[in-house]
Structure 1
Amino acid sequence: METPEAPAAGRTVTLIGKPGCHLCDDAREIVTAVCAETGAAVEEKDIEQDAELYRRYWEQIPVVLVDGAQHDFWRVDPVRLRRALVG
């Protein structure tokens, strides 16, 4: 018996933040939960380890990208993220 594919399989959510950022910690919880529900992959990037990310996003962290496109910053809305992933 085949297992149905998760609705967001093949999608990637990237969380851009930095250590010690409480908003990043909050965003991580939401992103992790929504991706677990939808089947999307999660990756994290630290702006302190990447000069280009730091230049682009340092005033906005945490930043959430969906498939490489900016989706949210500062606060992550789980309903909006879920909608972006599953249509």
Structure 2
Amino acid sequence: MPLPTSRVVMIGKPGCHLCEEARSVIERVVAETGDSFEEVTLDSDPAFARYAEEIPVTFVDGRQHDYWRVDEGRLRAALGR
């Protein structure tokens, strides 16, 4: 399964506190920018297992953007391009 086509994609897992923090930042930013966001879990595709030690992993426009934490300013800058 390839990554979803949303502008911002996060790979995470249930019960992950870093994922909850990242989701909060991403949702706040995309609510302001109007960009699309989708979250997938590690178990939705075996190929995502390679990110298990880095979750949450975020992608912007299909390219890996951050892992472990989402920097709000850096995400805004990436979406502003």
Separation of aligned partners in 2, 1:25 and 1:77 = 14
Separation of aligned partners in 2, 1:78 and 1:22 = 17
What is the TM-score normalised by the length of structure 1?
A: 0.83
Q: Percent identity?
A: 54
Q: Which residue, 4, 10, 23 being the options, matches 1:28?
A: 23
Q: CA deviation at 1:25?
A: 0.3
Separation of aligned partners in 2, 1:86 and 1:37 = 12
- Alignment partner of 1:67 is 2:65: no
Separation of aligned partners in 1, 2:72 and 2:31 = 12
SS of the equivalent of 2:69 reads coil
Deviations 1:4-54 (A, max 9, x none): xxxxxxx61001100000000000000001111111100011002211011
Report the structure number with the largest CA radius of gyration.
1
Q: What is residue 6 of structure 1 aligned with on the other side? A: none
5+ long unaligned stretches in structure 2: 1-5
- Structure 1 stretches (4+) deviating beyond 6 angstroms? none
